[in-house]
């Protein structure tokens, strides 16, 4: 197996991309339609959070008071937020 340099790989990719353009195949568009989510948990004793998508990743950023506090998949972030929330027992 021959080891190729980064410049060789880049030239090869550009040749393939140009061949696709000439064949009528359009370039990919960066189409990320996700929007930031605001979670106001102050009524339940939690913080005011903003969940922002990371471009090019499946991950989301959790922003609290203007600083990024965590970065993970959306479901993982929601689980972590729930773990940080105070637990309350129902009235019996």
Range of the domain at 42: 6-84
Residue 65 located in a structural domain: yes
Read off the pLDDT of residues 37-68 as tens digits, 9 standing for 90 and up.
999 998 888 889 999 999 888 899 999 998 99
Residue 91 located in a structural domain: no
Domain count, the chain: 1
Residue 48 located in a structural domain: yes
Confidence class of residue 90 from pLDDT cuts 50, 70 and 90?
A: low
Residue 71 located in a structural domain: yes
Residue 68 located in a structural domain: yes
Residue 18 located in a structural domain: yes
Please state whether the predicted TM-score (pTM) of the whole model is above 0.75.
Answer: no
Give Cα 91 distance to the centre of its chain: 39
Residue 14 located in a structural domain: yes
Q: Tell me how far apart the alpha carbons of residues 27 and 31 are, in angstroms, rounded to a whole number.
A: 12
């Amino acid at each position: 197996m021959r080891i190729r340099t980064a410049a060789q790989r880049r030239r090869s990719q550009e040749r393939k991309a140009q061949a696709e353009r000439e064949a009528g195949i359009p370039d990919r568009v960066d189409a990320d339609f996700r929007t930031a989510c605001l979670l106001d948990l102050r009524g339940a004793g939690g913080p005011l959070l903003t969940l922002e998508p990371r471009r090019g990743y499946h991950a989301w950023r959790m922003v609290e008071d203007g600083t990024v506090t965590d970065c993970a998949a959306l479901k993982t972030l929601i689980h972590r937020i729930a773990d940080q929330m105070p637990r309350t027992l129902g009235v019996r």
